[in-house]
Structure 1
Amino acid sequence: MNALTTPERRGLTAISTPGGRMLIVAADQRNGMRKAMADAPDGADAISAEELAEAKSDLVRHLANSAPAILLDPEVALPGVVDDGTLARDTALVVGMDASGYETVDGLRHTRFVPGVTARRVRDLGGDVAKMLFYTRPDRQGPDSTVAAQIRDCVRDCADEGVLLIVELLTYQLDGESDADYAAAFPALVADGAKLAVDCGAKVLKLQYPGSAEAAAAVTEAAAGVPWAVLSAGVDHETFIGQVKVAVDNGAAGAMAGRSLWKDSLSISAEVREQHLTGRALPRLRELESVVDA
């Protein structure tokens, strides 16, 4: 296990339930959140940054303020929801450092940082914790790879600033790789990615659901004592609840839920957003917390 510093331990406590399990509402999506506002009269592409910021603010106000923590982006949501007092004082702020999209080099995906967003900038934005996404194919990327160096550098920079870093990993299907081959490789890719990140110094992980109880146990073993939370990856709430139950029963330390909570609760209308977020998404959050802490 990679030992936490005192500030990092405080950060982990801030994003956890009273029962000690991580529970974060993920709302750092930009284009994905626009697409969820399906009633926009001129389509998702016509939704302005100001309209998206208003939707994120409502998501904080009506949903995330009832959670231990929320993950937000520094391009649209921040520092607005902090400066205007929307974010509750008891809800921790996780700042996403990754920009939308990815670059492909030699068939492998690489994420980019939001320009100017460093560990120090996370603090300046009022963040309690940072999150950075890395795409991984551990069958082709080892400890000497570019992504491994990026993980090590990010972990070090955040530790130097006294900011806990959540390392999010996404594995993916390669060009020319069959669906069957990728499906067969997927559980090991999640586990081996976790091992690679931990070997690079990661202290908290955000991972895809690896597919089964056996695979979740393998991820826990690969993480070697580093806590990991399962992400929702856009599945529906009922599916995610089942995945979280299996993951937690086999060593996961919590959940980070985005679209599974709110993808059918956003609207271009503030009135409709409030109605759906409080009547639909909030009960889901409460059910998720009961499963995480079970």
Structure 2
Amino acid sequence: MNTLTTPERRGLSAISTPGGRMLIVAADQRNSMKAVMADAPGGPDGISRAELADAKADLVRYLANHAQAILLDPEVALPDIIDDGVLDRDTALVVGMDASGYETVDGLRYTRFVPGMTARRVRDLGGDVAKMLFYTRPDKQGADSEVARQIRDVVRECSEEGVLLIVELLTYRLDDESEEDYAAAFPALVTDGAKLAVECGAKVLKLQYPGSAEACAAVTEAAAGVPWAVLSAGVDHETFVGQVATAVANGASGAMAGRSLWKDSLSITTGAREKLLTARALPRLRELKAVLDG
């Protein structure tokens, strides 16, 4: 297990329930958040940055302030949500360091940083914890690969700044790979990605659901004591609750839920958002917390 420093332990505590499980509302999405606001005049392309920022603020007010933590981006949401007093003092802030999209080099995907984002900038924005996304194909990328170097560098930078880093991993299908071959390889790709990240110093992981109880147990073994949380990946709430229950029963340490909570609650209209987030998304959050804490 990669040992947490004292400030990193404080960060992990801040994003965890009283039962010790991570519970974070993910709201750092940008284009995918616009896409679910289907009632916007002109569709997603017609949504302005200000309108998206307002939606994120309402998501914090009516949903995330009831969670242990909220994951937000520094491009649209921050620092306004802090400066305007929207975020509750008892809800921890996780700051996403990654920009939308990715670059492709020799068929492999690489994440980009939000310009100017550093561990110190996370602190300046009021963050308790940082998050960085990495695309991984561990069957093509080993400990000497560029993505491994990037993981090591960000882990080291955040640790030196006293900021806990959540390393998010997404695996993906290669251009010359069939859907069937990718589906067969998927559990091992998630497991081996976790192993690679831990070897690079990761202290907390955010991972795709690997597909089964057996695969979750394999991920837990590969993580070697490093806590890992399941990401919702846009599935419906009922599916995600089942995935979380299976994952926690097999060693996972929490959940980071985004669209599974709020994708059908983000109207372009403020009044409708409040009603939907309160009546639809908030009960889902409470159900997820009950599953996590048993």
TM-score range, shorter chain: over 0.9
* AA matched with 1:184: A
Identity score, percent: 82
Q: Distance in 2 between matches of 1:156 and 1:239?
A: 36
Cα distance in structure 1, aligned partners of 2:268 and 2:244: 30
Please give the alpha-carbon distance, in whole angstroms, between the structure 1 residues aligned to 2:223 and 2:66.
29
Q: What's the counterpart of residue 244 of structure 2?
A: 244
Question: What letter corresponds to residue 238 of structure 2 in structure 1?
Answer: E
TM-score, normalising length: structure 1: 1.00
> Residue 229 of structure 2 aligns to a residue in which SS?
strand
The equivalent residue for 1:271 is 271
Q: Deviations over 1:267-293 (max 9, x none)?
A: 110000000000000000000000011
C-alpha deviations, 1:14-43, integer Å up to 9, x for none? 000010000000000000110111000111
Aligned equivalent of 2:206 = 206
TM-superposed CA distance for 1:46, in Å, is: 1.2
1:166-185 aligned within 5 A? 166-185=166-185
Q: What is the Cα deviation at residue 246 of structure 1?
A: 0.3
**What is the RMSD of the two structures over their aligned residues, measured on CA atoms?**
0.3
Q: Map of 1:58-207 to 2, 5 A cutoff?
A: 58-207=58-207
The Cα of 1:176 is off from its aligned counterpart by 1.4
**Counterpart-to-counterpart distance in 1, 2:178 and 2:216:** 23
Q: Distance in 2 between matches of 1:176 and 1:189?
A: 16
1:292 and 1:258 map into 2 onto residues whose CA distance is: 16
Q: TM-score, normalised by structure 2?
A: 1.00
Rounded to whole Å, the distance in 2 between the matches of 1:273 and 1:31 is 18
Give 2:149's aligned amino acid: A
AA aligned opposite 2:166: I
> Where in structure 1 are there 5+ consecutive unaligned residues?
none
SS of the residue 2:126 aligns to:
coil
Distance 1:292 1:193 in 2: 24
Aligned letter for 1:222?
A: A
Q: What's the secondary structure of 2:60's corresponding residue? A: helix
Partner of 2:38: 38
Q: Secondary structure at the match of 2:23?
A: strand
Deviations 1:232-280 (A, max 9, x none): 0000000000000000000000000000000000011000000000000
Cα distance, 1:171 vs structure 2: 0.2
Deviation at 1:127, TM superposition (A): 0.1
SS of residue in 1 equivalent to 2:100: coil
User: Which sections of structure 2, spanning at least 5 residues, go unmatched?
Assistant: none
- One-letter identity of the residue aligned with 2:119: A
Other-structure match for 1:13: 13
Deviations 1:37-79 (A, max 9, x none): 1000111011000000000000000000000000000000000
Deviation of 1:224 (Å): 0.2
The letter of the residue matching 2:252 is: A
CA distance in 2, matches of 1:106, 1:176: 12
